[in-house]
Structure 1
Amino acid sequence: MIIDRIEIFHVALPLITPWRTAYGEDSVVESVLCRMTSGSTEAWGESCPLAAPCYSPEWAGGIFETAKRWLAPRVLGQEFNSGEEIQQALSIYKGNSFAKALIDNTWWTLHAKLSEQPLHQLFSANRNCIPVGADFGVQDSIEELLDLIHQAVAEGFPRIKLKFRPGWDLPMLRSVRDEFPETVFHIDCNSGYTLADLSLFEEIDSLGLAMIEQPLSFDDLHDHAKLQSRLRTPICLDESISSPERARKAIELKACQYINIKPGRVGGITNAIKIHNDCEDAGIPCWVGGMLESSVGGAICISLGMLENFSYPADIFPSSNYYKTDLGSVPITIEKDHHGIPSVRAMHPLPTPHPERLSQCTVQSAVIR
């Protein structure tokens, strides 16, 4: 496949309600979309690092500029027959995982369109439906959170994730566990703590959580290994896993017992598949996550999640949870599987941006010919 044309769009998508985490609050999600053309065929991808460099060192305006100035010209006019070849071409640039994911993800969707296959089938995935969990950010009160959890439990969600940060931590978690002694919960700390908080995590260890997600620094492996050695509760790494090499080192250090894989954070689908396979070989279960993308990017995460070792319910949500109107032509929806568990199906054809909504949401755009 020869890449003939690339267009990129930096967009801002207003949320229905702000998303609050340990690193702050987002009321608008900033993302970058890519349209890639080969001959008469075009396809879309998305990478969503958010508006500010708080989740990772990257941010939407930055990856727009990086893709426009460096990555897109690097691949334009070249022939690529695999994701590995795309990654090799981009490897001269250090880091910039979300920016590389923009190019890598879009190459895969274009490959799927040219192959006339559903994206997940290109990965040799045997499923077309996966269970999803419920997630709740920091709320205005514990009572409000408990009401939301009651609704999620009634709807049959197999697990619930709670954002966890200083000021919204152990008292909140104890209240939740007292109200729901049998429900599967895990917490997401978004790098909000250090090893100095060991006593806090030892108290959490008694509450029967499925995992503690990314408790320590976003770029740490060593301290996570120390913390995991002191806890029964599994640690899950998210922000710390930015490449296949980082995943390999985390496994060697025994820094975690789960890994969350987000295509944007690890440099794209190609790297995500490699991490999934390496984790499977090591006996480390994975789960697929998203970054509040539109359905354009969310559908890519869903396709990836069809791989077998994504065994913990996914972080994929209906578009209506966050957006009054999704930027994508087809929104993400949740349905019940034959066991009554909320689930998502692989989307084929993949959603593309609605032209009018794309125009309304675009902050800046560029064409690389």
Structure 2
Amino acid sequence: MIVREINLYHVQMPMLEPWVTAYGSQDMIESLFVNLKFDEAQGWGECAPAPLPLYNTEYTKGAFHVAHDVLAPRLIGRTISSPDNIAGLFEGLKGHEFTKSAFETAVWDAYAKTLEEPLWSLIGGTNPSIMVGADIPVLASTDALIDRIAEAIDQGFPRVKLKFNRQCTPDMIEKVRNTYPDLVMHIDCNSGFTLDDMDMFQRLDHFNLKMIEQPLAYDDLIDHAELQKALQTPICLDESITSAQRAAKAIQIKACQWINIKTSRVGGLTNAIAIHDLCQQNDVPVWVGGMLESAVGQAPSMALATKDNVGYPCDIFPSSRFFEDDFSAPDITLSQNGRITAPDRPGCGFSPKMDKLHKHSVATARIA
């Protein structure tokens, strides 16, 4: 497959409600869409780093620049026989995993289409029926949080994830636990705390949380290992895991008991599969996260979530959860309570609605 044309779209999509986390509040999602055209097929990829470098060092405007000035010139006109070739074409380029992932997953989409096979099946997935959970942002009050959890339970979600920042308290979690004693839940700290907060974490240790996700700095492993030693509650690493090498080090020093895999955070589906397989070999369970992408961006995550070592309901969301009208078609819908079915269409199974893509684009580029 020869890369004949590359199209880039920096888009902004208003959200139905602000998404409040430990690193701030977002009222829109900014995404980079990458379209690669080959003679045989075309592929789509998407990444959605934050509008500012708050989740990690990447942000969408920067991703568009790197895509246009650095990555696209390395791909245009090149022959790609499989997605494994991408790592070699990007060799020597440090970081920018989100941006790389948008290109890499676009190659996966086109490659699977040429083979006329669904992406999840191509990568060795075994169960297209994916358990998913409900994620709840930081809300104004504990009562509002309890009401939102009740809605999630009524909708049949098997677990809830609560965003947790410095305005949140162990008392809030205690009230939730007393209200829902059997609820499977965990908190996501988005790297908002330090070891100075040990007393708070030890209080949280009493509330039967399934895990505490990324409590400490986004690039840390060492302090997480110290915190894990002090807690019964498992720590799950998210932002800290950017490669299979980082995952191996985290496992070696016992920095966590779970790993969240986001295809965009680790540079694409190939690296995500490598982390999944490494964790499986070391008896460390994983689950699949997301960045509130459209269906195009969530599709590689759906494929990954069909693999054997995924042991917890994933962050893959119905299209109606965050947006009035998703960028992509068809919509992602709940196939039954708390489950989403990976598509049986060739490739990733989703493509953008071009009218919406153009309407919401703040920058575009064509490289040919």
TM-score by length of 2: 0.97
Letter in 2 for 1:26: Q
- Of 118-127 and 207-216, deviating more is 118-127
TM-superposed CA distance for 1:321, in Å, is 1.2
> What is the CA deviation profile of residues 314-345 of structure 1, one whole-angstrom value per residue up to 9, with x for unaligned ones?
01111111100000021111121xxxx41011
TM-superposed CA distance for 1:10, in Å, is 0.5
Letter in 2 for 1:194: T
Which residue in the other structure is 1:347 paired with? 343
Which residue in the other structure is 2:183 paired with? 183
Which residue in the other structure is 1:157 paired with? 157
Runs of 5+ in structure 1 lacking a partner?
none
Letter in 1 for 2:185: F
Matches of 1:129 and 1:57, distance apart in 2: 34
Q: Displaced runs of 4+ in structure 1, greater than 3 A?
A: none
Matches of 1:261 and 1:211, distance apart in 2: 15
Matches of 1:347 and 1:169, distance apart in 2: 40
Letter in 2 for 1:296: V
TM-superposed CA distance for 1:169, in Å, is 2.6
- Percent identical among aligned pairs is 44
Which residue in the other structure is 1:220 paired with? 220
CA contact (8 A) 1:136 1:161 kept: yes
TM-score by length of 1: 0.97
SS in 1 for 2:30: strand
TM-superposed CA distance for 1:50, in Å, is 2.0
CA contact (8 A) 1:298 1:332 kept: no
CA contact (8 A) 1:299 1:332 kept: no
Matches of 1:315 and 1:95, distance apart in 2: 24
Matches of 1:7 and 1:353, distance apart in 2: 13
Matches of 1:27 and 1:368, distance apart in 2: 31
TM-superposed CA distance for 1:182, in Å, is 1.0
Which residue in the other structure is 1:128 paired with? 128
Letter in 1 for 2:56: S
Matches of 1:91 and 1:193, distance apart in 2: 34
- Of 56-65 and 347-356, deviating more is 347-356
CA contact (8 A) 2:23 2:54 kept: yes
- Of 299-308 and 319-328, deviating more is 299-308
CA contact (8 A) 1:163 1:188 kept: yes
> For this pair of structures, how many residues does the alignment match?
365
Tell me: CA distance 1:348–1:35, structure 2 relative to 1, closer, same or farther (3 Å). Answer: farther
The aligned runs of 1:137-216 (5 Å cut-off) are 137-216=137-216
Matches of 1:51 and 1:275, distance apart in 2: 27
TM-superposed CA distance for 1:105, in Å, is 0.8
Q: Which structure shows the higher helix fraction?
A: 1
TM-superposed CA distance for 1:40, in Å, is 4.7
Letter in 1 for 2:339: S
TM-superposed CA distance for 1:348, in Å, is 3.7
The aligned runs of 1:1-369 (5 Å cut-off) are 1-336=1-336, 341-349=337-345, 350-369=349-368
SS in 2 for 1:44: strand
Matches of 1:300 and 1:348, distance apart in 2: 13
Letter in 2 for 1:329: A
Matches of 1:43 and 1:75, distance apart in 2: 13
Matches of 2:155 and 2:47, distance apart in 1: 30
Matches of 2:126 and 2:2, distance apart in 1: 29
Matches of 2:79 and 2:214, distance apart in 1: 38
SS in 2 for 1:165: coil
- Of 347-356 and 224-233, deviating more is 347-356
Runs of 5+ in structure 2 lacking a partner?
none
SS in 1 for 2:203: helix
Matches of 2:264 and 2:241, distance apart in 1: 11
Matches of 2:305 and 2:88, distance apart in 1: 24
